Structure 1
């Protein structure tokens, strides 16, 4: 029971840190990097504003790769039955 709780807590921490990273990535590129309100000064990548491309397209790809890696490293199958406490 104790090792199962420890594993679940570790997975929660990894998930929250990854979410915070994604939010900060998105916020930085959407509001700090692309803070020009004048559309004439926008740069475009594949027809999308540069700030949008980096915050939404590149950010999604980076976070999906990180999710794949972190799930393979930190997450384990946990039995939901009370008597089976092995990880």
Structure 2
């Protein structure tokens, strides 16, 4: 049985990066939902249009996509580490 103190350091890195990924996915959903249902629940007559699209669609889908894409690129470059896949030889 493996000792908890000897857990591979790569699991800590992977868990942290997975939590960051889940946070980004949650942020993306909240952004999309907020604009799509917040602004999109108005009567159609009250919609304003940006580039021929309803404003709620433009902000939720177009701006949201660009924002999350930029955020993912930033997070990967700044917070993610490259880890080797090869198993480390145990010291004897």
Deviation at 1:15, TM superposition (A): 0.2
DSSP 3-state at the match of 2:86: coil
5+ residue gaps, structure 2: 1-6
Q: Which structure has more RCO (C-alpha within 8 Å, separation ≥ 6)? A: 1
Among 36, 48, 55, the residue aligned to 1:43:
48
Aligned to 1:22: 28
Question: Could you list the per-position Cα deviations for residues 18-72 of structure 1 after superposition, in whole angstroms to 9, with x for gaps in the alignment?
Answer: 0000000000000012211x22211000000000000000000100110011001
Shift of 1:3: 1.4
- Structure having the higher Rg: 2
TM-score, normalised with respect to structure 1: 0.89
The structure 1 segments of at least 4 consecutive aligned residues displaced by more than 3 Å after TM superposition are none
The count of aligned residue pairs is: 83
The residue aligned with 1:53 is 58
Partners of 1:29 and 1:4 in 2: CA distance: 38
Where do 5+ consecutive residues of structure 1 fail to align? Answer: none
TM-score after normalising by structure 2: 0.84
In angstroms, what is the RMSD of aligned CA positions? Answer: 1.2
